Amino acid sequence: MKFLDIIKTKIEIPLIQRDYVQGLDEKKANAFLEAIKNGMDRNGLNLDFVYGNKQNDIFIPIDGQQRLTTLFLLYYYLSIENDYIDELKNFSYAIRPTSKDFIEKLTNEDNWKKLIKDNIKQQIKNSNWYFLSWEDDLTIKSILSMLHLIEQKFKNQTIDKLDKIEFEFLDLDEYSLGEDLYIKMNARGKQLSNFENFKAEFEHFIKDPKIKAKLDNEWLDIFWKLDYVAVDKYFYNFFYNTTLNFYLETHILNKNFLKTKELLDFYKEVYYEKSPYIDSIIVLLDNIDKFPKLKNLCKIKSEAQYYDRLELYIWSLSILKQFNNIELKKWERICNNLVNNTRIEDPETFSNILQELLKLSCTIKDTIYNEINFNNIGKFSSEQIKEEKLKIKLILDNNMWEDELIKAENHWYLCGQIGFLLEYAKNDFDEFIKYRDKFFCLFTNKVEKDKYLQTLIQRALLTIEDYLPQHTNSDKYTFCSFDTRLRIKNENWREVFDTSEFKTLLDKVTDFNDLEILINEYYADYNDWKSYFINPKKKWSVLENIKNYQIIWKNEFNIFLNAGDTSAEKWGWKRKKELYSFYFYKCYKEELELEYYSSSFEPSCTYLFIDDKYKLDIFYYKQKFLVRFFEYNNTELSQVLIKYLEDNGFEENRYVNIREYGYWNDLFNLSSLDRLVNFIKDFCGVIKTID
């Protein structure tokens, strides 16, 4: 439908719509006008859907306000020396009274006849009917800016060519589409999108009219079904991500590219006369509906993550190579294993990995396993390449391997890297299944979220050996986070999987009951730091209270637990809990009404208040429990209480490096926790008696 077909009925931009703003962004406005100009000079232009409904013979646009207004202004400018003003009087704005009045004055025949095609913006502003107060109206400001831009581009154009500019028109009343759709579409406040500007350029490269028609029919329907409200957004995202991937086959991204580039900024380097990529994207669009997974990838944003873009590229290569369904699954599996286990944290690495995938695809003609060549693709993880070679060899020797390997690769934590299981099994088929299934029994789906189950694995493994991976060359170690981000996996469990200790654990256990047996059989020694984490014969462990399972280990009597707010990949935390005082707190917090203080600078401790007047702090320091007592209102202590403290080994201000005041006692150590508990109970009783 053409604009003049719509304007025969009165068009009113409703109050609920936002201001007309298309003229305020000069870059986007010029791109849109250029697309229209090219459409007028060449083979026309389709501006996508305009939605709305009719109320009392007035057409109310819900989606398309910005485009309709720009076309109204084009007709207005090009009509200055013609005769369409009667039709243009049917166009009105109800957003606010000033906008409505301005349009009425603009289309007043007497006012219009005084205009010429030169310096139109200033002519209007100089007119006696123009009010200075209108300068504050965003719609009016945008209209004047757009008229100025139109004058620059269309001064020598004739109005008849505007007939080549068309819409797809949808009357919502006719299709019985509900109020919910009205609200959603209205909320979008859609301008002419980047995609519409791009599409106007792109379709000139398509010579076959039947294929060109797919842009507004079959291909558009694909994205319409994904989301009828955001159809152009999804269509644009697919073109953007696919075009960017094509672009990267011969370019390397710089750091700022993805933040600043839009499709219109770089598509000419991909699509041009006789460009092979034109046929490529046509093939991809023709095949989207055949592959549900590819269809789902059409939803990824133009600001997508590296791994999402690469997954789209892997699928694109398989379709362009015309792999059958069997070979496609092999290709997808190998590529995803390589990509998901290679760290990609910057645009340059992303570009390099994409080009490596292209190289890999070029080594294959028909069959993946027989032809794929991993030489000269050094940007992927060398360990993963080695693993993929081994798995292909095993499958070619015995095709029973394939399904069993895939089951392991699809595990929520492993994500394709299963070399340690093959190593445990020494590449024996039955042994591999045994170790894989034992691993599955421990790393179940529940483990990812259940801290108690996580700590059972950690505690049981600690009974075998001190397995904790060290962070670089620091004094920080980890019991291993279950976070599935690649960098964190590499610094945590993947370091442990390659050890004999983890294999020993799998040899010893088959389920979580076996883990508890291992834990409870461990001999607890108060001088053994591991005992405090393993905590045999108890259902809890201090592990549950360690952020990201990270600790500082200076020696067996100087161990501190992460109490900071950092994420698992950040190791710069300072707030910490001291292990032995925290263990004491966990054991007796309810019995003694203890609380715990974690600190970034001062020593951490557990403490309790007595009668809202006194405070007792318990530190662990130099292999002793230091008990500090003070009256925190600085009231003078009674002589009876001072004598009791001195009779029980307390000294005043002894450890000034920890606090400047109070009474201190260091008569307790790790082997005398029960005695410390009894002292605290007795002391609380004495204070109440004195008071």
The model's pLDDT over 440-460, given as tens digits with 9 standing for 90+, comes to: 999 999 999 999 999 999 999
| Angle 302-19-216 from CA coordinates, rounded to 5° | 45
Task: Supply the pLDDT for residue 86.
Answer: 79
Residue 251 belongs to a domain:
no
Give me the sheet containing 550-555, strands edge to edge: 476-478, 550-555, 558-562, 576-578
- Rounded CA-CA distance 313/297 in Å is 10
Q: Are residues 31 and 69 in the same domain?
A: yes
SS3 83: coil
Same domain, 154 and 15: yes
Q: DSSP state, 290?
A: G
According to the model, what pLDDT value does residue 182 have?
45
Q: Which residue, 619, 594, 590, is CA-closest to 609?
A: 594
* Residue 34, domain member (yes or no): yes
Coil, helix or strand at residue 275: coil
Q: Are residues 75 and 133 in the same domain?
A: yes
161 plus 40 within the same structural domain: yes
Q: Measuring CA to CA, which residue among 441, 461, 459, 440 is closest to residue 451?
A: 459
- The angle formed by the CA atoms of residues 466, 468 and 473, to the nearest 5 degrees, is 120
Indicate whether 41 and 171 sit together in one domain: yes
Same domain assignment for residues 106 and 142: yes
Q: What residue has token string 């819900």? A: 62
- How far is it, in rounded angstroms, from Cα 357 to Cα 249? 9
How far, rounded to the nearest angstrom, does the alpha carbon of residue 109 sit from its chain's CA centroid? 55
Unique residue bearing structure tokens 């049981």 = 460
- Angle 453-456-457 from CA coordinates, rounded to 5°: 95
d(CA 177, CA 187): 16
DSSP conformational letter for 599: B
pLDDT value of position 16: 64
Query: How far is residue 522 from each of residues 439, 461, 515, measured CA to CA in Å?
Result: 22, 11, 11
Alpha-carbon torsion (426, 427, 431, 436), positive or negative: positive
pLDDT of residue 188: 44
**Cβ proximity of 487 and 480 under 8 Å:** no
Tally of CB atoms within 10 A around 476: 19
354 & 394 share domain: yes
In a domain, 303, yes or no: no
* Cα–Cα distances in angstroms (integers) from residue 307 to residues 174, 336, 354, 659, in the given order: 43, 9, 10, 53
Which of residues 440, 473, 504 is at a domain's end? 440
Sign, CA dihedral 410-412-416-418, equals negative
CA atoms of 150 and 70, how far apart (whole Å): 9
pLDDT < 70 regions, the chain: 16, 81-83, 170-194, 228-229, 258-260, 634, 654-661, 691
Domain count across the chain: 4
Structural domain including 500 reads 444-574
One domain for residues 436 and 448:
no
Under 8 Å between Cβ of 351 and 248: yes
Q: Tell me, what DSSP letter sits at residue 610?
A: E
pLDDT of residue 190: 44
Same domain, 521 and 666: no
**49: enclosing H helix or E strand:** strand 45-55
Q: Are 33 and 149 in contact (CB under 8 A)?
A: yes
Contact 402, 435 (CB under 8 A): no
> Which of 544, 574, 604 corresponds to the end of one domain?
574
Report residue 610 as tokens.
């007595």
Residue 648 CB-density burial (10 A; 0-12 exposed, 13-18 middle, 19+ buried): middle
How far is it, in rounded angstroms, from Cα 377 to Cα 394? 22
Examine residue 467 and state whether it is found in any structural domain, yes or no.
yes
Name the 3-class secondary structure at 617: strand
Residue 242: strand, helix, or coil: helix
End-to-end CA gap in the chain = 93
Distance CA 97, CA 137 (A): 10
Asked if the structure places residue 277 within a domain, the reply is no
The reported pLDDT for the residue numbered 167 is 81
Domain-ending residue, one of 168, 192, 216 = 192
C-alpha 11/C-alpha 68 separation (Å) is: 9
Residue 24 has a pLDDT of 85
Is 271 inside any structural domain? Answer: no
How far apart, in whole angstroms, are the C-alpha atoms of residue 19 and residue 66?
Answer: 9
CA 252 to chain centre: 23
Residues 520 and 537: beta-carbon distance below 8 Å: yes
**Residue 219 forms part of a structural domain:** no
Q: State phi, psi for 298 to the nearest 5 degrees.
A: -65, -15
Neighbouring residues of 82: CB distance < 8 A, sequence distance ≥ 6? 159
Sequence letter at residue 453: L
**pTM > 0.85:** no
Q: Would you say residue 261 lies in a domain?
A: no
Please tell me whether residues 426 and 507 are part of one structural domain: no
Q: Do 408 and 356 have their domain in common?
A: yes
